[in-house]
Amino acid sequence: MEAPQYVAARVQAALAEDGRTHELGIRVDIRGDQLFLRGQVSGAEQRERLGLVAHEAAPDLRVHNEIMVVEVADAGEDEHLD
């Protein structure tokens, strides 16, 4: 059986290199037959694509997509650099 660390690395590489996602910095954790995705992206569709690519890269694992979509707030308080 392939070590979970290598599977996680392969999924992370797929998320970065797959033309549908190209997303760096997504954390991939594997516990038993479960795979957890964590991180932040700019849109809900990107989150779904990441879940799909992860599933394709590790089809035997159950994917839990815990990625958050960044909520863009309006500009807040100014910082005075005096």
Partner 1 sequence: MTELRIAAVGDIHLGEDVRGQYRKHLEGIEERADVFMLTGDLTRHGTLEEGRLVAEELRGLPVPTIAVLGNHDYHSDLQYEIAAALRDAGVIVLHDDGVVIQCGEVKLGVAGGKGFGGGYAGKCASEFGEREIKNFVAHTRYIAEAWKVALKEMTADLKVVLSHYSPVKETLEGEPHEIYPFLGSYLLAEAVDTAGADLILHGHAHKGSEKGMTPGGIRVRNVALPVIGRAYAVYCLGENGHC
Nearer to partner 1, 4 or 39 (CB): 39
Q: How many residues bind partner 1 (CB under 8 A)?
A: 25
Cβ-based neighbours of 37, under 8 Å, separated by 6 or more: 26, 27, 28, 50, 51, 54, 63, 64, 65, 66, 67
Does 5 bind partner 1 (CB under 8 A)? Our answer is no
- State which of residues 29, 43, 56, 62 lies at the interface with partner 1 (CB under 8 A): 43
Residues that bind partner 1 in the complex, under the rule CB under 8 A: 19, 22-23, 25, 39-46, 70-82
